[in-house]
Amino acid sequence: MHDQYESISKGTGLFDPKDRGVVWVRGSDRVSFLHAMISNDVQELETGQGRYGLFLSHTGRILCDFDFYKLDAGILIDIDVSLLSDLLEGLGRFIIMEDVVLENATVNWQRLSLQGPTAEEIVEDLLEVEAPNREFEVKSVQDDLFLINRPSLAKVGYHLLIHPDSAEELVQHILSHYGHLGVVQIEEPVWEILRIESGLPRFGIDMTSKNHPLESGLEEAISLTKGCFVGQEAVAKAVHLGGVPKKLVKILLEGSEVPVIGSDLLIEGNSVGIVTSATKSIFHGVPIALGYIKRGMAKVGQKVQVGTPPDFQQATIVESFKRL
């Protein structure tokens, strides 16, 4: 486990998630349509660039989160496979006269992620191309291979989108040819530890359709200058008027027991929040958690208790939520 964990900081961690889906948005109206639907700006993107975005309800709650990329063939959306049907059905309801086609292309694509300081050297040698140097920048290497600059758990990171038939062979090639650059395959439990340590929320765990994006720290997914989008009024009101009642934070616990998901966060015996993710941190050596706490108390250094008295654990908010 420790060699997988350390690969992110000393070499490259190779992660092969099985839970990613791909949607192509095609048609002559694809840009204007998607721009009017999702939270981030689509129109100003150059071809070969992408962003992180959200599809919201009319009340400004998160229905889906995803990465999207403007390419010659259309707009490619990289999304958790569990959210595919919600996105397709949600966007589909708004297509009336527009020339827009939504294509579930999941069976044709698989995502590999390489994260760590040697990732750039690996992908450039592997693919014999210069790696894209801006975050979310995409380079088409072949008809069925995209290289994307996408650091998530390290300062340097890339996604490879390839055909599933080629994925296993490519994984084995990377592992067998780049051991000298510290590449190690990362399994899901270690990736989850890294995710929580990095403060990255996961839909269905740390955020649901009940959450407002500002509660979950997703400001980077929202453009306040692009004009109207679904849920825009509710988001603008929260930004400029009322704010949100709670915030997602990172919590460092004392002791050795990992708290149960759903455990209360308390201050002076009063419940002020709830734990959404928790694990034993390899970096800190003690449990760490993500959770929501009332906005006024979401401050670095705030002391809280986790659990139910008299068996609660002492804890401290160590970092306001921040995506890498």
What integer pLDDT is reported at residue 282 of this predicted model? Answer: 93
What pLDDT is attached to residue 323? Answer: 38
Task: Assess whether 218 and 185 both reside in one domain.
Answer: yes
What is the CATH classification number for the domain harbouring 216?
Answer: 3.30.1360.120
* Spatial separation of the C-alpha atoms in residues 121 and 114, rounded to whole Å: 11
Beta strands at 183-186 and 12-15: parallel, antiparallel or unpaired:
parallel
Phi, psi (degrees; rounded to nearest 5) at 165? -65, -25
Indicate the pLDDT class of residue 242, thresholds 50, 70 and 90.
confident
Q: Where are the beta strands (DSSP E) in 72-153?
A: 74-80, 101-104, 110-115, 138-142, 145-149
Same domain, 69 and 180: yes
Give the confidence band of 302 by pLDDT, cuts at 50, 70, 90.
Answer: very high
One domain for residues 162 and 34? yes
Please, which pLDDT band fits residue 287 given cuts at 50, 70 and 90? very high
Same domain, 259 and 199: no
* Surface-to-core class of residue 197, CB atoms within 10 Å of its CB (0-12 exposed, 13-18 middle, 19+ buried): buried
Local confidence band at 300 (pLDDT 50, 70, 90 cut-offs): very high
Note the pLDDT of residue 1: 84
Structure tokens at 186: 């990362």
CA-nearest of 279, 281, 290, 312 to 246 is 290
- How far apart CA 137 and CA 268 sit, in angstroms, is 48
Whether 125 and 262 map to the same domain: the answer is no
Same-domain status, 208 and 78: yes
pLDDT-based confidence at residue 305 (cuts at 50, 70, 90) = very high
Q: Is there a single domain that holds both residue 221 and residue 302?
A: no
Residues 95-105: what's their mean pLDDT? 97
Please indicate, yes or no, whether residues 252 and 238 belong to a single structural domain of this protein.
Answer: no
Residues 310 and 222 both lie in one domain? no
- pTM of the shown model: 0.94
Q: Give the C-alpha separation, 162 to 170, whole Å.
A: 9
pLDDT score at 321: 44
Identify the weakest region by mean pLDDT among 105-109, 158-162, 315-319: 315-319
Q: Are residues 266 and 176 in the same domain?
A: no
Are 287 and 147 within one domain?
no
> What's the angle, vertex CA 83, arms to CA 47 and CA 49, rounded to 5?
10
Q: How far is CA 283 from the centre of its chain?
A: 21
Q: Could you give the 3-state DSSP secondary structure of residue 60?
A: coil
CA-to-CA distance for 119 and 181, rounded, in angstroms? Answer: 9
Mean pLDDT in the chain?
94
Domain count, the chain: 2
- For residues 147 and 272, membership in a common domain is answered with no
Domain that residue 74 falls in: 1-244
**DSSP code for 254:** S
Q: What is the mean pLDDT of residues 19-45?
A: 97
